[in-house]
Amino acid sequence: MVQREIANREDVILLVDSFYEKVQQDNLIGFIFNDIARVDWSHHLPIMYNFWESLLLDSHNYGRNAMEPHFRLNKLIPLEPAFFDRWLELFEATVHELFTGTKASLAITRARSIKGIMALKMDRINHPAASNNGDIPVVPGK
Ligand code: HEM
């Protein structure tokens, strides 16, 4: 397939649909979506179209809290860095398969940045001792 620019909502829909097809079949993170969160795709996908259309094409049609469902999910299954790494790997592979150009690069930059923040937030919750800032001794008295 010839890669092209991400130019409109149809392109965003193709990107998002292709990405979540990979996610659902993935042997490391698929089960989180399929078996733990039991995602209702007919509800989730249109939200993701708006999210990515806002980030890439300034459509201003996503006004939700992107972090919130991940905090909830993290209580059911700790979202470890390896899960986020795979998420990003699949996202980048999807972008490269289908698209090229500045918006494709922007999609990857934005995904890396949000993934980094999200992974850090979850890691601080899941491993509080490992991520203290050095003021609090990990072993009291030492
Ligand atoms: C291992 C990593 C991740 C997992 C397992 C995960 C899983 C999920 C799940 C289960 C939902 C809720 C779907 C529903 O409505 O039922 C969700 C929502 C969402 N995710 Fe993720 N996610 C991950 C990483 C990311 C990253 C890195 C981003 C951003 C770049 C992201 C963006 C979003 C957004 C925007 C929503 C919709 C939030 C809303 O408005 O309701 N996710 N995710």
Question: How do the domains of the chain map onto residue ranges?
Answer: 9-126
Residue owning the nearest CA to atom 21 of ligand 1? 70
Least confident of 1-10, 21-30, 62-71, 127-136: 127-136
pLDDT in tens, 22-63: 999 999 999 999 999 999 999 999 999 999 999 999 999 999
Task: Render the burial of 68-102: b for 16+ CB within 10 Å, e for the rest.
Answer: eebeebbeeeebeeebbebbbebbbebbeebbeee
Atom of ligand 1 at shortest range from CA of 65: 40
The reported pLDDT for the residue numbered 129 is: 79
Measured by CA distance, the residue closest to atom 28 of ligand 1 is: 115
Q: Is the pLDDT of residue 115 over 80?
A: yes
Mean pLDDT computed over 78-101: 98
Q: How far is the CA of 106 from the centre of ligand 1 (A)?
A: 19
Q: 9-126: what CATH class?
A: mainly alpha
Q: How far is the CA of 142 from the centre of ligand 1 (A)?
A: 40
Q: What is the pTM of this model?
A: 0.93
| Spacing, Cα 138 to ligand 1 middle (Å) | 32
pLDDT score for 58: 97
Query: Hey, what long-range contacts does 70-78 have (CB within 8 A, 24 or more apart)?
Result: 70/118, 70/122, 71/121, 71/125, 73/32, 73/36, 73/37, 74/122, 74/125, 74/126, 76/36, 76/37, 77/32, 77/36, 78/122, 78/126
Q: What is the pLDDT of residue 141?
A: 41
Closest-lying ligand 1 atom to the alpha carbon of residue 110: 30
- Which atom of ligand 1 is closest in space to residue 73's alpha carbon? 10
Per-residue pLDDT for 139 more than 60? no
